[in-house]
Amino acid sequence: MIHFQGVSKKYGHDSTALHDVTLDIAHGEFVSVVGQSGSGKTTLVRLLIAEERPSCGNIEVGDWNITKISRHDVPFLRRQIGVIFQDFKLLPKKTVLENVAFAMQVAGETRSRIREVVPRVLDIVGLKQKSERYPYQLSGGEQQRVVIARSLVHRPKILVADEPTGNLDTINTQDIMEILKKINQFGTTVLLVTHNRDIVNQMKRRVIMLCEGEVVSDEARGKYRL
Amino acid sequence: MLVFFRVIKFAWQDMWRNMSLSIMTLLILILMLLSVNTLFVIRVLTNTATTMVKQQIDVSIFFNSTSTPSQISSVVHYVNSFQEVATSTFMDKGQVLAKFRQHYKNNKDIISSLDQLGTNPLGATLIVQTKDPADYQKIITALNAPEYKNIVEAKTFGDTEQAIKKIDSITTQVEHFSFALTIFFGIIAFLIIFNAIRIAIYTQRVEISIKKLVGATNWFVRGPYLVESFIFSVFSVAIAYGLVLVISHFLDIYITATFGQSAFLTSYFQSNILWLVGIQFLVVLVLTMFSSLLAIRRHLKV
């Protein structure tokens, strides 16, 4: 599903974010990528959604070769990878419903299809009753659930969650993790990037540990060991 | 087609939800257009004023009182044969005397002197107006030929020559100044609009990056801004032109007193509406679209 082969990313001459990273993630896996700040976790996500290009190496996501992807194809790739960010990245001038619908509108989906799918995903994340609210009228946990709903509308095969619980309290963190587990159970590959020790240990799934841009451990049922 | 309608919908939605920013952009565009229209007014007023002054200048050719009608007729024909001549008015001796008497009707000394003479001492006169004041010299030079020396007594152009040169110089300077002012206003307007749109787009840079991250193509992101440029252009030109017509209506009261033509500015802006609105709309549209595309370019690299 996801294949990194000898991937490095350098910023300038002396700043290396990732160094010779090789890893494979299979379809349906739930993988946590952990590491301290500056270990290269976010760079990994940015490379995956073609926000950045690798300095060297090869990245494949499904049928896409990210290393060679053209600018024209990038939007189409992003419609197939659901991404959840720590800072939510919701459109502030759009309602909950509009934010979720927007991801379908950019893909040229019909109105009837949008009307069918959006309420369903909002129901999954428990926000059907708040569909007409604006992001600033929601709590952090609710905003993150909107982001998850938005990432689900295209039925992505991969869901990348970059520090999804970084701005949330314990209760909201548990809610979000439950939703991510549920999504994974439906067959979606989930890549969780985090430095939250508790949730990684609680998951008891595969853990890839990064340190100074290199993969230092990759365990099938790992724990946060830093 | 679906995407196109969505782009239009998002443009309206963005404008509505960023109302203060939209009003600010619209106001700047209207102010710029009012400045440009002020330049049009200055230009049309100076042109009309100089044309009026030029129309009041003529050259009078005074014939000797001893010149025969055939001699006078040959000169009149000769002068009228010049392509540069716009109009010519011939007054025979009797008409000149009547006009002279009318002019000095309150000066008893002159009238009584004329009566004592018993004969008409005045010769016929030909008043000539050329299409361009610069052409007067050509007529005068032609009449300085030896064969006309005994027919033509005097020419008044010498008195007005300096005035014409002065008017020509002022007209040229006003035109240069007006052109320089137009260029200056154009640059200022471009900088103001470019920066206003750049600020408007800068405030939405996070939204632009989010749209890109959820899979919007560059044209899907750019589209609403281009549609907004179109809407801003339509509204700003319509409002500014409406204001110009209203202001013209009030200014016409003062202009009528000077130029003697009623509704001078209003009729100018009404009769040239297609050309003036068209050119202003086109310039504003190109300016706003160019500014939008340039400002948004850097935020699309996500």
DSSP 3-state assignment of B288?
helix
Residue B136 domain-assigned (yes or no): yes
Tell me how many residue pairs between chain A and chain B have CB atoms under 8 A apart: 49
Q: Report the C-alpha gap between B63 and A115 in whole angstroms.
A: 96
Q: Report the C-alpha gap between B162 and B268 in whole angstroms.
A: 32
Say what the ipTM of the complex is. 0.78
Q: Quick one: B252 and B196 in the same domain?
A: yes
Is B213 in contact with A79 (Cβ distance < 8 A)? Answer: no
pLDDT at residue A55 tops 60: yes
Is B215 in contact with A83 (Cβ distance < 8 A)? Answer: no
Q: What is the pLDDT of residue B118?
A: 78
Q: At CA A46, angle to CA A40 and CA A52, rounded to 5?
A: 105
If pLDDT is split at 50, 70 and 90, which confidence band does B17 have? confident
In angstroms, the separation between the Cα of residue A169 and the nearest Cα of chain B is 24
Is B214 in contact with A106 (Cβ distance < 8 A)? Answer: yes
Query: Is residue A206 less than 8 Å (CB to CB) from chain B?
Result: no
User: Where a domain ends, among B124, B150, B176?
Assistant: B150
- Please name the member of B2, B17, B210 whose beta carbon is closest to the beta carbon of A89: B210
Residue B161 domain-assigned (yes or no): no
Q: Quick one: B48 and B70 in the same domain?
A: no
If pLDDT is split at 50, 70 and 90, which confidence band does A186 have? confident
If pLDDT is split at 50, 70 and 90, which confidence band does B157 have? low
Helices (H), B144-263: 157-202, 205-213, 218-259
Residue B269 domain-assigned (yes or no): yes
User: Where a domain ends, among B95, B122, B150?
Assistant: B150
The mean pLDDT of A94-113, rounded to a whole number, is 90
Is B17 in contact with A79 (Cβ distance < 8 A)? Answer: no
Contact B74, B130 (CB under 8 A): no
The mean pLDDT of A194-223, rounded to a whole number, is 87
Q: Quick one: B179 and B223 in the same domain?
A: yes
Q: What is the pLDDT of residue A103?
A: 87
In angstroms, the separation between the Cα of residue A213 and the nearest Cα of chain B is 22
Is A93 in contact with B215 (Cβ distance < 8 A)? Answer: no
Q: Report the C-alpha gap between B98 and A16 in whole angstroms.
A: 105
Is A106 in contact with B210 (Cβ distance < 8 A)? Answer: no
- Please name the member of B207, B215, B218 whose beta carbon is closest to the beta carbon of A79: B215
Could you report the per-residue pLDDT of B181-214, keeping only the tens digit for each?
Answer: 778 877 877 787 788 778 878 888 888 888 888 8
| B18: nearest CA partner in chain A | A93
Q: What is the pLDDT of residue B164?
A: 65
Residue numbers in A near B14 (CB within 8 A): 93
If pLDDT is split at 50, 70 and 90, which confidence band does B159 have? low
Closest CA to A189 of A6, A50, A24, A36: A24
User: Into how many domains does chain B fold?
Assistant: 2
Q: Report the C-alpha gap between B242 and B86 in whole angstroms.
A: 38
CB interface of A with B, residues 16-55, below 8 Å: 49, 51
If pLDDT is split at 50, 70 and 90, which confidence band does A56 have? very high
Q: Quick one: B177 and B277 in the same domain?
A: yes
Query: Is residue B301 less than 8 Å (CB to CB) from chain A?
Result: no
- Please name the member of B3, B6, B214 whose beta carbon is closest to the beta carbon of A103: B214
Q: What is the pLDDT of residue A6?
A: 93
Query: Is residue A216 less than 8 Å (CB to CB) from chain B?
Result: no
Domain residues for the domain of B138 are 65-150
Q: Report the C-alpha gap between B178 and B6 in whole angstroms.
A: 44
If pLDDT is split at 50, 70 and 90, which confidence band does B37 have? confident
Q: Quick one: B231 and B259 in the same domain?
A: yes
In angstroms, the separation between the Cα of residue A39 and the nearest Cα of chain B is 22
Query: Is residue B205 less than 8 Å (CB to CB) from chain A?
Result: no
If pLDDT is split at 50, 70 and 90, which confidence band does A95 have? very high
Could you report the per-residue pLDDT of B128-154, keeping only the tens digit for each?
Answer: 888 877 788 788 888 888 888 788 877
Place of tokens 């801003």: B232
Q: Of residues A166 and A189, which shows the higher confidence score?
A: A189
- Please name the member of B14, B209, B216 whose beta carbon is closest to the beta carbon of A106: B216
Domain boundaries, chain A: 81-155
Q: Report the C-alpha gap between A129 and A74 in whole angstroms.
A: 34
Contact B26, B235 (CB under 8 A): yes
pLDDT at residue B279 tops 90: yes
User: Where a domain ends, among B94, B116, B150?
Assistant: B150
Residue B59 domain-assigned (yes or no): no
The mean pLDDT of A125-145, rounded to a whole number, is 92
Instruction: Order across the sheet with B85-91: list the strands.
Output: B85-91, B125-130, B59-63, B152-155
Residue B73 domain-assigned (yes or no): yes
Give the number of C-alpha atoms closer than 13 A to the C-alpha of residue A9, restricted to the C-beta side: 27
Residue numbers in A near B207 (CB within 8 A): 91-93
Q: Report the C-alpha gap between A27 and B253 in whole angstroms.
A: 82
Query: Is residue B210 less than 8 Å (CB to CB) from chain A?
Result: yes
Q: Quick one: B11 and B125 in the same domain?
A: no
Those residues whose C-beta lies under 8 Å from the C-beta of residue B199, and which sit 6 or more positions away, are none
Q: What is the CATH number of the domain that holds B107?
A: 3.30.70.3040
Q: Report the C-alpha gap between A92 and B255 in whole angstroms.
A: 53
* Torsion angle of C-alpha atoms B205, B211, B213, B218, degrees rounded to 10: -90
Query: Is residue B108 less than 8 Å (CB to CB) from chain A?
Result: no
Residue of A84, A105, A148 to mutate, interface with B, max B Cβ within 10 Å: A105
Residue B239 domain-assigned (yes or no): yes
Q: Report the C-alpha gap between B142 and B155 in whole angstroms.
A: 12
| A148: nearest CA partner in chain B | B214
Q: What is the pLDDT of residue B160?
A: 61
Per the structure block, which two tokens stand in for A43?
């760079």
Residue numbers in A near B17 (CB within 8 A): 93
Residue numbers in A near B297 (CB within 8 A): none
Residue of A71, A83, A89, A148 to mutate, interface with B, max B Cβ within 10 Å: A89
Q: Report the C-alpha gap between B260 and B273 in whole angstroms.
A: 23
Per the structure block, which two tokens stand in for A92?
């502030």
Residue B58 domain-assigned (yes or no): no
In angstroms, the separation between the Cα of residue B299 and the nearest Cα of chain A is 13
Q: What is the pLDDT of residue B158?
A: 52
Q: What is the pLDDT of residue B22?
A: 87
Residue B242 domain-assigned (yes or no): yes
The mean pLDDT of A191-217, rounded to a whole number, is 89
Query: Is residue A6 less than 8 Å (CB to CB) from chain B?
Result: no
Q: What is the mean pLDDT of chain B?
A: 84
Is A91 in contact with B220 (Cβ distance < 8 A)? Answer: no
Q: Of residues A69 and A167, which shows the higher confidence score?
A: A69
pTM (global) more than 0.90: no
In chain B, % of residues over pLDDT 70: 97
Query: Is residue A110 less than 8 Å (CB to CB) from chain B?
Result: yes
Q: Quick one: B78 and B14 in the same domain?
A: no
Q: At CA A143, angle to CA A141 and CA A144, rounded to 5?
A: 65
Contact A8, A19 (CB under 8 A): yes
Q: What is the mean pLDDT of chain A?
A: 89
Count of residues in chain A: 226
Place of tokens 């919007």: B216
| B301: nearest CA partner in chain A | A51
CA distances to A171, A203, B63 from A196, rounded to whole Å, are: 14, 11, 112
pLDDT at residue B65 tops 60: yes
Q: What is the pLDDT of residue A226?
A: 60
Q: Quick one: B131 and B172 in the same domain?
A: no
Residue numbers in A near B212 (CB within 8 A): 75, 78
If pLDDT is split at 50, 70 and 90, which confidence band does A225 have? low
